[in-house]
C-alpha cells in the first residue's frame, strides 16, 4: 500500500497548508480573472482580507452558469500559450463548459489520480484496463495519466465495443478496471451472455464513478466480477476524476484530496455553510490550479463530509457517496426523493436487475413517476417460471409497494425483459423527464 505523506498529515498541518495555498489562489484569481476581480470589488473584499480558512465564507460562489456566461475562455487565468489541454463537459442545456490546464495542472492532476488509484487498491507494475471514455470528457485521459504516473501498464480501451473489452480483459489479464459502474455492469452481463464467467477473470479492483451508484450496485458489481469496487468522484470544473476516492480498506466514504481542494457543504436554499456531518451541496475551492482557479464552486452534488482517522491510516477529510444532484431531486406529490434512493430499494429485490429508468410525466397537473426496471432472469429456476407473465405483474406490484413503504412515493412500475433498457457506454441515463416535452 502506498500512503502519500500528506494523506496522513495532522489537522493543523493540513489547515496551514490549505490557508497558504488559498491565499496564493485568491491573489492569482483576483489579479488575472476580471470576473473574480469584479465580484470581489462588488463585495469590497480583497484577497489580503482572508486571514483564516473560515473567512472563505465571505467570498462569492462560482456556478456552472458563470462558466457558460464566459464561454469558451473567459475565466482562464493564464495566457493562452501556457495552456496545454482543454476538456469540456457537454451539459444538458446550452453551451458546454470548457476547462483548461497548464502543464503544472496536468502534473498535479496526474498525481492526485495516481494517489486515487493507489487508494482504490492499484499498485505500481500492475495492469489497468481503462474503459472511461477518452476525449473531451475528463474520465479517460484523467485516469490514463494517473495510471501512468503510478507506473501501471495502462490500456486505453475507452468505452464501447464491449466484445473487444472482454477479449482484452481475457488476453491482457488486468488487475484493475475503471469505468462507469453502469457500463462495467453491462460488460459483465455481456460476458454472461456469451457463456463466460466474469468472476473468473484476473481483475481484483474496480474504480468506478462519474455517476451516482448505490451500495446495492456495489455488491452486484463485486459479486459478478469477484473484485473490490471503490467509488471515485470528481468534476471537470474542479479538475476531473480524483477530487475524492474511496479506500479499498474501509469502503466507507471518499478521501478528498484536501491539499488541493478546500471543501464546504452548504444548504442549497440558504447558501449557509453547514456543520460537519450534515448533508448539503458540495462546494469546492481549488488551492493549486493555475489555468482555471475556481472559488467556491457549487457542484450541485449532495453529500456530507467528516474528518476522522480512517482504517486505512489516512487522516484526510472524507465525503459520503454522492446521493444525487440538487437538480435531480424529484418531488412526487410533495415527497422529495433522489433517483439513488429508488435504486437502493429496487436492488433490494433479487428478482430485479440494476437496469432501470425513471420516467417523469405530468397528469392532471401532478407529477407522475413511472419506474421501468428489468427482471433478473438468473434467479428463476426454469425458463417457464421466468416467462410466466404473472411473475412480471407481481414483481411490478412489489416495486410499487416497496417504494411506497420505503420512499413514501406512489409510482407506476413496469418490470420488463432483460435488454429492454438502452445501455450506455458512459454515464447511464436514469431519468427521462417527459414533462418538458409535454409543455
Instruction: Please report, as ranges, the residues that interact with ligand DLL according to CB under 6 A.
Output: 89, 132, 137-139, 142, 209-212, 231-236, 240-241, 299, 301, 322, 325
Q: How far is the CB of 215 from ligand DLL (least distance, A)?
A: 12
CA distance linking residue 230 with residue 206, whole number of Å: 6
Residues 224, 185: contact at Cβ < 8 Å? Answer: yes
Q: Residues 197, 198, 203, 204: is their CA dihedral positive or negative?
A: negative
> What is the maximal distance between C-alpha atoms in the chain?
74
Nine-digit cell string for 420: 429492454
Q: How far is the CB of 12 from ligand DLL (least distance, A)?
A: 30
Q: How far is the CB of 428 from ligand DLL (least distance, A)?
A: 11
Phi first, then psi, for residue 265 (nearest 5°) are -120, 125
Q: How far is the CB of 419 from ligand DLL (least distance, A)?
A: 25
Is the bond into 72 cis (omega within 30 degrees of 0)? yes
Reduce the DSSP state of residue 203 to 3 states and report it: coil
Nine-digit cell string for 176: 484493475
DSSP class of residue 81?
G
Q: By C-alpha distance, which of 213, 307, 309 is closest to 264?
A: 307
Q: Which helix (H) or strand (E) holds 140?
A: helix 138-149
- Nearest residue (CB) to ligand DLL, 139 versus 174: 139
Q: How far is the CB of 383 from ligand DLL (least distance, A)?
A: 37
Pinpoint the alpha helices (H) of 5-102: 11-32, 34-42, 64-69
- Nearest residue (CB) to ligand DLL, 40 versus 137: 137
- Nearest residue (CB) to ligand DLL, 238 versus 332: 238
Nine-digit cell string for 398: 412489489
Q: How far is the CB of 411 from ligand DLL (least distance, A)?
A: 23
- Nearest residue (CB) to ligand DLL, 40 versus 233: 233
CA distance linking residue 138 with residue 145, whole number of Å: 11
- Nearest residue (CB) to ligand DLL, 209 versus 354: 209
Phi first, then psi, for residue 427 (nearest 5°) are -75, 135
Rg (CA), the chain: 22
CB-nearest residue to ligand DLL: 209
- Nearest residue (CB) to ligand DLL, 30 versus 284: 284
Strands of the sheet containing 318-319, edge to edge, are 153-155, 127-130, 176-179, 205-209, 228-235, 240-246, 254-256, 318-319, 305-306
Q: How far is the CB of 270 from ligand DLL (least distance, A)?
A: 21
- Nearest residue (CB) to ligand DLL, 47 versus 240: 240
Q: How far is the CB of 89 from ligand DLL (least distance, A)?
A: 4
Q: How far is the CB of 233 from ligand DLL (least distance, A)?
A: 4
- Nearest residue (CB) to ligand DLL, 30 versus 233: 233
Query: Distance from first CA to last CA of the chain, Å, rounded?
Result: 55
- Nearest residue (CB) to ligand DLL, 47 versus 324: 324
Amino acid at each position: 500500500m502506498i500512503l502519500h505523506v500528506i494523506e496522513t498529515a495532522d489537522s493543523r498541518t493540513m489547515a496551514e497548508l490549505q490557508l497558504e495555498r488559498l491565499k496564493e489562489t485568491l491573489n492569482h484569481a483576483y489579479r488575472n480573472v476580471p470576473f473574480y476581480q469584479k465580484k470581489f470589488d462588488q463585495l469590497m473584499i480583497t484577497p489580503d482580507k482572508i486571514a483564516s480558512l473560515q473567512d472563505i465564507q465571505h467570498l462569492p460562489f462560482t456556478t456552472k452558469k458563470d462558466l457558460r456566461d464566459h464561454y469558451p475562455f473567459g475565466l482562464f487565468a493564464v495566457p493562452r500559450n501556457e495552456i496545454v489541454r482543454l476538456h469540456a463537459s457537454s451539459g444538458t442545456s446550452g453551451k458546454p463548459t470548457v476547462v483548461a490546464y497548464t502543464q503544472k495542472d496536468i502534473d498535479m492532476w496526474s498525481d492526485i489520480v495516481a494517489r486515487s488509484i493507489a487508494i482504490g487498491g492499484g499498485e505500481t507494475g500492475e495492469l489497468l484496463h481503462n474503459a472511461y471514455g477518452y476525449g473531451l470528457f475528463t474520465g479517460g485521459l484523467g485516469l490514463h495519466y494517473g495510471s501512468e504516473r503510478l507506473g501501471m501498464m495502462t490500456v486505453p480501451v475507452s468505452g464501447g465495443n464491449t466484445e473487444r473489452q472482454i477479449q482484452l480483459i481475457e488476453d491482457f489479464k488486468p488487475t484493475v478496471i475503471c469505468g462507469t459502474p453502469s457500463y462495467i455492469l453491462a460488460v459483465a452481463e455481456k460476458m454472461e451472455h456469451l457463456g463466460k464467467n466474469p468472476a473468473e477473470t484476473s481483475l481484483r479492483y474496480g474504480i468506478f464513478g462519474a455517476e451516482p451508484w448505490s451500495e446495492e450496485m456495489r455488491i452486484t458489481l463485486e459479486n459478478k466480477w469477484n473484485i473490490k469496487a471503490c467509488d471515485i468522484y470528481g468534476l471537470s470544473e474542479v479538475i476531473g476524476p480524483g477530487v475524492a476516492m474511496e479506500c479499498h480498506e474501509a469502503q466507507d466514504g471518499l478521501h478528498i484530496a484536501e491539499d488541493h481542494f478546500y471543501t464546504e457543504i452548504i444548504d442549497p436554499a440558504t447558501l449557509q455553510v453547514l456543520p460537519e456531518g450534515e448533508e448539503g451541496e458540495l462546494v469546492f475551492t481549488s488551492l493549486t490550479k493555475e489555468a482555471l482557479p475556481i472559488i467556491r464552486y457549487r457542484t450541485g452534488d449532495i453529500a456530507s463530509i467528516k474528518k476522522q482517522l480512517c482504517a486505512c491510516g489516512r487522516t484526510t477529510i472524507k465525503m459520503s457517496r454522492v446521493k444525487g444532484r440538487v437538480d435531480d431531486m424529484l418531488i412526487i406529490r410533495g415527497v422529495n426523493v433522489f433517483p439513488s434512493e429508488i435504486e437502493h430499494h429496487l436492488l433490494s429485490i433479487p428478482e430485479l436487475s440494476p437496469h432501470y429508468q425513471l420516467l417523469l410525466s405530468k397528469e392532471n397537473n401532478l407529477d407522475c413517476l413511472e419506474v421501468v426496471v428489468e427482471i433478473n432472469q438468473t434467479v428463476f429456476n426454469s425458463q417457464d417460471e421466468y416467462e410466466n407473465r404473472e411473475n412480471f405483474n407481481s414483481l411490478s406490484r412489489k416495486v410499487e409497494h416497496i417504494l411506497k413503504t420505503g420512499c413514501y412515493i406512489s409510482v407506476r412500475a413496469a418490470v420488463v425483459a432483460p435488454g429492454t433498457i438502452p445501455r450506455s457506454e458512459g454515464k447511464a441515463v436514469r431519468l427521462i423527464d417527459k414533462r418538458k416535452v409535454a409543455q
